[in-house]
Structure 1
Amino acid sequence: MSQLDPSTMSRRQQLVETYRMTKQTDPTIGLWVGGSFVVGAVIGALLFWLLPAGGVLGVVFAVIGAVLFGVLAALLVFSRRAQKAAYTRIEGQPGAAAAALNMLRRGWTVTPAVGFNKSQDVVHRVVGPPGVVLVGEGTSPARVRGLLATERTKHQRVLPDTPITELVAGNGEGEVPLPKLVSKVSRMKREVRPGEITDILNRLKALDSTRGTLPMPKGPMPTNMKGMRQNLRGR
């Protein structure tokens, strides 16, 4: 079944769809969300009960605190479990790193598969405040690093003064695990100003126009990460 577009769904539909997708990977999601609501409600009720109000007003405040803290705790736990489940669903699939990088917020431009070889090793490109970040993924770290070196050389020809960083997505030594990839990229040191990013993107258009059409890896390219984020944020 094709994934629904979050922008065409109501808030309730978004939450239901996200819950359904998460439950496929995390069958205990209901227990986690329900338990967190109860714990949050108890904490909220106790905190609001301590407010300087007694009688009926104190009970009302306690109920309000229970609902507020319960819902907040449930949403926080749901968000974390849903994101973890989304990474689990796509990890190991061709293009998983590109799907994860689409979780980056505004100010970042992600271009999947700017480099590719017959062994299905792929290099994706991220342009943002740190400059250019090349992210490689594949079954052989040595091949991936070789492909990254090739792409770095190509990019340096058109961007000689732009910082270029290479990362390998994976669970091996010196690699960045998929769930930590977005955090790793977004926390990198800011090296270029917003105005310079526009110039970088224009220069890269010339480079990309000379590549032709790259053959994509066999199998589906996972793209549900961004939809998952939109579902959780109601966008």
Structure 2
Amino acid sequence: MAKNPSTTPSENAPKKAKKPNSFQQMIQVFQMTRRSDPNVVWLMALAFLVLVGVSLLVGFLLDNWVTGLIIGIMLGLLGAVLLLSRRAERAAFAQIEGQPGAAGAALSTLRRGWIIEEQPVAMNPRTQDLVFRAVGRPGVVLVTEGPASRVRQLVDGERKRLARILPNVPIHVVESGRDEGQTPIDKVAKALQKLKPELTKVEVQAVNKRLASLGTRLPIPKGIDPTRVRPDRRAMRGR
């Protein structure tokens, strides 16, 4: 009786999916952006042509149009990519806006120097209003999610609690949303970055350790998983 050919474990093991290269990532970002922003194609083409035209004109004036054309193409491609990055950021935030945990997702795009609490530090289970927290050189920042009139009591309670624990640390509040006086989701990170630094890096770490020792993590109501609501970071970086 013939024996079946044996198979090695490596043959049976599932193959690992290859990570997309930079060009493939760019294509994915472009496709995602075009779905929500069809005008991005024409805007990128316009940016490319304008930069090439200006560079070519300068080349003619300097009697070296070939160099001007080469530089113009490179500048045009760079300008188109930068424009795609901006439009992709808008598209990524548009996808998460209105979802529970969107404010926490906006905080995740902050650059170095900030310590972000991924889970909300205060919430209203009935209305699903949330308060997220970030610690940085400006102090402690509370970012709310919910209608301004409804979330104010929730954030005021958290701010008073922090004031008792950290009496000498500045506490700021940024209300995210579309109501009057609130900050749109796509501008939350910029609002925090504009705050004036008042703590040293050592003090930031000390404040974070103090908060971590309190064990402020809360149970998440059904239907809310802020850690899953995340904008596409590749889209944010344009790659």
Fold agreement, TM-score > 0.5: yes
Closer, same or farther in 2 for the Cα pair 1:128/1:225, shift >3 Å? farther
For 1:177-196, list aligned pairs within 5 A: 177-196=184-203
Matched, 1:218 2:229: no
1:225, distance to aligned residue in structure 2 (A): 4.1
Closer, same or farther in 2 for the Cα pair 1:219/1:29, shift >3 Å? farther
Alignment partner of 2:87: what SS? helix
Q: What residue is the counterpart of 1:152 in the other structure?
A: 159
Q: Which amino acid aligns with 1:32?
A: L
Closer, same or farther in 2 for the Cα pair 1:125/1:225, shift >3 Å? farther
Matched, 1:43 2:51: no
1:224, distance to aligned residue in structure 2 (A): 2.0
2:132 maps to which of 94, 103, 124: 124
1:212, distance to aligned residue in structure 2 (A): 5.0
Q: What residue is the counterpart of 1:81 in the other structure?
A: 87
Answer whether contact 2:57 2:65 (CA < 8 A) is retained: no
Q: Structure 2 CA distance, aligned partners of 1:182 and 1:204?
A: 21
1:144, distance to aligned residue in structure 2 (A): 1.0
Give deviations 1:137-159, integer Å, cap 9, x for gaps. 11x32221111111112222321
Matched, 1:66 2:72: yes
Q: What residue is the counterpart of 1:168 in the other structure?
A: 175
The percent identity for this pair of structures is 35
Q: Structure 2 CA distance, aligned partners of 1:9 and 1:117?
A: 41
Q: What residue is the counterpart of 2:144 in the other structure?
A: 136
Answer whether contact 1:47 1:65 (CA < 8 A) is retained: no
Answer whether contact 1:49 1:61 (CA < 8 A) is retained: no
Larger Rg: 2
Q: Structure 2 CA distance, aligned partners of 1:111 and 1:212?
A: 9
2:44 maps to which of 26, 33, 39: 33
Task: Return structure 1 stretches of 4+ with deviation > 4 angstroms.
Answer: none
Closer, same or farther in 2 for the Cα pair 1:217/1:15, shift >3 Å? farther
Name the structure where helix makes up a greater proportion of residues.
1
Q: CA RMSD in A?
A: 1.9
When normalised by structure 2's length, the TM-score is 0.83
